[in-house]
């Protein structure tokens, strides 16, 4: 192993120092969001490996593309033999692997978590530029923006919405889903909470807040877990009964990419369905108690 | 011995305490609730928002708090009486851990999705296997140390297999949920959980409480109890079956909440004149009160997500356990 590493280091040292400028030919991704951008923007021949998560159609929007590419589980030992000329990792995942790859002299690009639609567009452009595919990146952003512009106009009375994810997590202020909800003309009740962008809500808070729309990030065929069981709690049944639940696969808006446009389209359709004056699911406390 | 009157007074007092804590548990929550409106809407059958919160979120939590606590208290007292051992408690001797393993297998691998009763039955099988094994150890004349060591072994094995099962489970969330199964929680439980678990728990209580008279005789030893006309075979069957049903169903819906079954019988024992038969019901009620109190505490402590219930019961129970071990050492086993 040590000899292999030394050999590799020698190889890398021999590589031109200006590698950062060249169009990378052996790209490795260690993060699901990076997987989606790399697979959509670069030709498959240039992708050496993506994460195993990219092949799971429940969590990934590029499962079909990922099927043609080798996968990794985020371990340095898997990455080194591939001798990549660009590694893309998440800023908060596989930290030990990222640090080791840097020590070994690989070029590692870290992707942060965008906090708004604008930042998501910027991330698409940033990755596309590094891949040497700036035009494809620009085209992707233009397509998303065009789809957003084609949505029906937002009504003056902003209906309220809350996002519910497994384990009671929500999408708060400063998150891409919050930005998408605003773009669609929905008032995100969780943004009024003094939590960060991944805040957790008690079911009681959600029910009492009485959102006009309950956006549930669930997969209908998810394997059993307590985290997922929460999404099917009987206390949420009245929302479904009143057609105020919007099931939205989390993969659509977890990462920067074309899924954002699809998420916006589905949310706008749901908002149209609950036209002003539609009956509320329940009588009782007014909406907006959530402080 | 102050007799029946004193005992009745104690039972009514404990019952009142449980009722009071049950009401407090309904009143406490994460969002402001107009309790009067909720109650009147609920009783009138109106589908209002406060009624929904009360019926679907707070009621199951309070019912399970009382029922799980009763199960742990009553089985702790019964195991201590049957094994004539002050350390016997479903948590320490590994019954809860084994129940968690059974429930984990039933839940994460989809058995309970196709057949809902698989969840409590999984817990019941796990608890039953562990109880039978422990009783065999206890009957072969094992001392307290041997029983604790057997419990340590069962706990270690069940904990490791639970972690293994969760790692092998198809859901990406499963591995993170080991804390729930090891520490227990009543957060966001529903009436579905109550409906699944409560019948088994009630059955378990009935079986264990039916052994009350034999428990008193057992203080004289198994042979003496036998000569007084109590069938040991029957007593063992009642306690093992009752413990498996009550603890198995509790753990299946609330995880393994530790130390309740250990602490409660020791607190209550002086109050019942050291009569193991009377200890059973009193321990059940005291267990319900302790668990309801701990569950109120986790909601009042301002941490998010809330503390697991077992964290609070262990903070109360573990020092108690250590003090008791020290006393046992001083007095000799």
**Strand positions, DSSP E, chain A:** 27-29, 47-51, 71-72, 86-90, 108-111, 160-164, 187-188, 213-216, 245-247
Answer whether residue B64 is part of any domain: yes
pLDDT(A18) > 50: no
Closest residue, chain B, to A231 (C-alpha): B188
Asked if A143 contacts A170 with a C-beta cutoff of 8 angstroms, the reply is no
CA distances from A146 to A262, A278, B288, B291 (A): 12, 30, 60, 57
Contact residues, chain B to chain A, C-beta under 8 Å: 29-34, 37, 41, 46-53, 56-58, 107-110, 112-113, 169-174, 176-177, 180, 187-188, 190-192, 304-305
Residue B237 has, within 13 A of its CA and on its CB side, a CA count of 5
Closest residue, chain A, to B106 (C-alpha): A224
- Among A224, A233, A286, A288, the strongest candidate for a mutation testing the B interface, having the largest count of B CBs within 10 A, is A224
**Residues sharing a CB contact under 8 Å with residue B17, sequence separation 6 or more, in sequence order:** B285, B289
Q: Provide the CATH number for the domain formed by A154-273 in this structure.
A: 3.40.50.1980
Answer whether residue B197 is part of any domain: yes
Cβ-based contacts under 8 A for chains A and B: 102
Contact B31 A208 (CB under 8 A): yes
A223 vs B49, B51, B171: nearest CB? B171
Closest residue, chain A, to B175 (C-alpha): A225
Q: pTM score > 0.95 for this model?
A: no
Distance in Å, alpha carbon of B49 to nearest chain A alpha carbon: 5
Query: Matching CATH topology for A7-112 and A154-273?
Result: yes
Closest residue, chain A, to B56 (C-alpha): A235
Contact B173 A166 (CB under 8 A): yes
Contact B31 A289 (CB under 8 A): yes
The confidence score (pLDDT) of residue A276 equals 57
- Give percent above pLDDT 90 in chain A: 66
Distance in Å, alpha carbon of B39 to nearest chain A alpha carbon: 13
Asked if B280 contacts B269 with a C-beta cutoff of 8 angstroms, the reply is no
How would you write the pLDDT of chain B (333 residues) with one tens digit per residue? 457 889 999 999 999 999 999 999 999 988 888 899 999 999 998 888 899 999 999 999 999 999 999 999 999 999 999 888 888 889 988 999 999 999 999 999 999 999 999 999 999 999 999 999 988 888 887 777 788 889 999 999 999 999 999 999 999 899 889 999 999 999 999 999 999 999 999 999 999 999 999 999 988 888 888 899 988 889 999 999 999 999 999 999 999 999 999 999 999 999 998 889 999 999 999 999 999 999 999 999 988 788 999 999 999 888 988 888 788 765 544
| Count of domains for chain B | 1
User: CA A226 to CA B179: how far, in whole Å?
Assistant: 11
Distance in Å, alpha carbon of A168 to nearest chain B alpha carbon: 9
Instruction: Name the residue with higher pLDDT: A48 or A167.
Output: A48
The confidence score (pLDDT) of residue B220 equals 87
Closest residue, chain A, to B52 (C-alpha): A235
Contact B52 A282 (CB under 8 A): yes
Distance in Å, alpha carbon of B262 to nearest chain A alpha carbon: 28
Closest residue, chain B, to A209 (C-alpha): B31
Encode pLDDT of A75-120 as tens digits. Answer: 999 999 999 999 999 998 888 999 999 999 999 999 999 999 999 9
The confidence score (pLDDT) of residue B214 equals 92
Q: Lay out the sheet containing A86-90: strands in order across.
A: A71-72, A47-51, A27-29, A86-90, A108-111
Q: Which chain A positions have a beta carbon within 8 Å of B58's beta carbon? A: 204
Contact B52 A207 (CB under 8 A): yes
**Residues sharing a CB contact under 8 Å with residue A39, sequence separation 6 or more, in sequence order:** A47, A50, A54, A62, A65, A66, A69
**Of the listed ranges A218-227, A277-286, B169-178, B226-235, the one predicted with least confidence:** A277-286
Contact B190 A234 (CB under 8 A): yes
Contact B173 A210 (CB under 8 A): no
The confidence score (pLDDT) of residue B51 equals 93
Q: Which chain B positions have a beta carbon within 8 Å of A202's beta carbon? A: 29-31, 187-188
Contact A234 B56 (CB under 8 A): yes
Which CATH class for the A7-112 domain?
alpha beta
pLDDT(A286) > 70: no
Q: In this structure, what CATH number is given to the domain that contains residue B246?
A: 1.10.3470.10
ipTM topping 0.90: no
Q: Where are the domains of chain A?
A: 7-112, 154-273
- Give percent above pLDDT 70 in chain A: 85
The four Cα atoms A236, A239, A240, A243 give a dihedral, to 10 degrees, of: -170
Name A49's bridge partners.
A28
Contact A224 B108 (CB under 8 A): yes
Closest residue, chain A, to B49 (C-alpha): A284
The whole domain housing B242 covers 3-24+59-331
């Amino acid at each position: 192993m040590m000899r292999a590493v030394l050999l590799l280091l020698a190889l890398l040292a021999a590589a031109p120092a200006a590698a950062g400028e060249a169009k990378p030919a052996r790209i490795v991704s260690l993060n699901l969001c990076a997987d989606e951008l790399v697979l959509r923007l670069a030709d498959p021949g240039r992708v050496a490996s993506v994460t195993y998560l990219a092949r799971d159609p429940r969590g990934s929007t590029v499962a079909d593309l990922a099927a043609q590419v080798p996968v990794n589980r985020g371990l340095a030992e898997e990455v080194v033999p591939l001798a990549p000329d660009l590694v893309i990792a998440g800023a908060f995942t596989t930290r030990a692997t990222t640090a080791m790859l840097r020590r070994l002299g690989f070029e590692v690009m870290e992707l942060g978590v965008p906090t708004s639609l604008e930042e998501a567009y910027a991330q698409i452009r940033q990755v596309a530029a590094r891949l040497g595919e700036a035009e494809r990146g620009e085209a992707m952003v233009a397509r998303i923006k065009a789809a957003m512009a084609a949505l029906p106009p937002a009504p003056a009375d902003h209906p309220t919405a809350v996002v519910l994810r497994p384990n009671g997590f929500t999408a708060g202020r400063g998150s891409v889903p919050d930005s998408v909800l605003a773009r669609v003309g929905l008032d995100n009740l969780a943004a009024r909470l003094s939590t960060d962008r991944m805040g957790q809500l008690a079911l009681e808070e959600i029910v009492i807040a009485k959102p006009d729309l309950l956006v549930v990030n669930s997969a209908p065929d998810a394997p059993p877990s307590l985290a997922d069981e929460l999404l099917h709690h009987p206390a949420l049944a009245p929302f479904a009964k009143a057609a105020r639940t919007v099931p939205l696969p989390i993969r659509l808006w977890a990462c920067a990419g074309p899924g954002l446009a699809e998420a916006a389209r589905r949310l706008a359709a749901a908002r149209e369905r609950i036209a002003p004056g539609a009956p509320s699911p329940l009588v009782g406390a007014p909406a907006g108690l959530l402080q | 011995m102050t007799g029946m009157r004193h005992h009745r007074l104690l039972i009514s007092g404990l019952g009142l305490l449980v009722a009071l804590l049950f009401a407090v548990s309904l009143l406490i929550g994460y969002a402001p609730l107009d309790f009067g409106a909720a109650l009147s809407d609920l009783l009138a059958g109106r589908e209002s928002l406060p009624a929904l919160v009360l019926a679907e979120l707070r009621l199951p939590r309070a019912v399970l708090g009382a029922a799980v606590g009763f199960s742990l208290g009553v089985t702790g007292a019964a195991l201590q009486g049957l094994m004539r051992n002050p350390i016997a408690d479903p948590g320490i001797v590994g019954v809860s851990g084994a129940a968690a393993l059974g429930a984990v297998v039933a839940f994460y691998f989809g058995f309970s999705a196709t057949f809902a009763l698989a969840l409590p039955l999984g817990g019941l099988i796990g608890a039953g296997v562990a109880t039978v094994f422990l009783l065999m150890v206890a009957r072969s004349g094992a001392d307290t140390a041997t029983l604790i060591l057997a419990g340590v072994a069962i706990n270690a094995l069940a904990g490791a297999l639970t972690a293994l099962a969760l790692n092998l489970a198809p859901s990406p969330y499963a591995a993170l949920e080991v804390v729930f199964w090891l520490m227990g929680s009543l957060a966001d439980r529903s009436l579905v959980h109550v409906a699944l678990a409560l019948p088994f728990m009630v059955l378990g209580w009935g079986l264990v409480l039916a052994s009350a008279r034999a428990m008193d005789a057992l203080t004289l030893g198994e042979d003496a109890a036998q000569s007084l006309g109590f069938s040991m075979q029957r007593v063992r069957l009642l306690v093992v079956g009752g413990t498996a049903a009550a603890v198995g169903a509790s753990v299946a819906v609330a995880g393994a909440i530790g130390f309740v079954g250990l602490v409660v019988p020791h607190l209550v024992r002086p109050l019942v004149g050291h009569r193991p038969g009377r200890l059973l019901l009193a321990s059940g009620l005291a267990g319900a009160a302790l668990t309801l109190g701990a569950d109120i505490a986790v909601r009042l402590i301002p941490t998010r997500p809330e503390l697991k219930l077992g964290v609070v019961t262990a903070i109360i129970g573990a020092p108690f356990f250590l003090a008791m071990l020290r006393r046992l050492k001083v007095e000799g086993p």
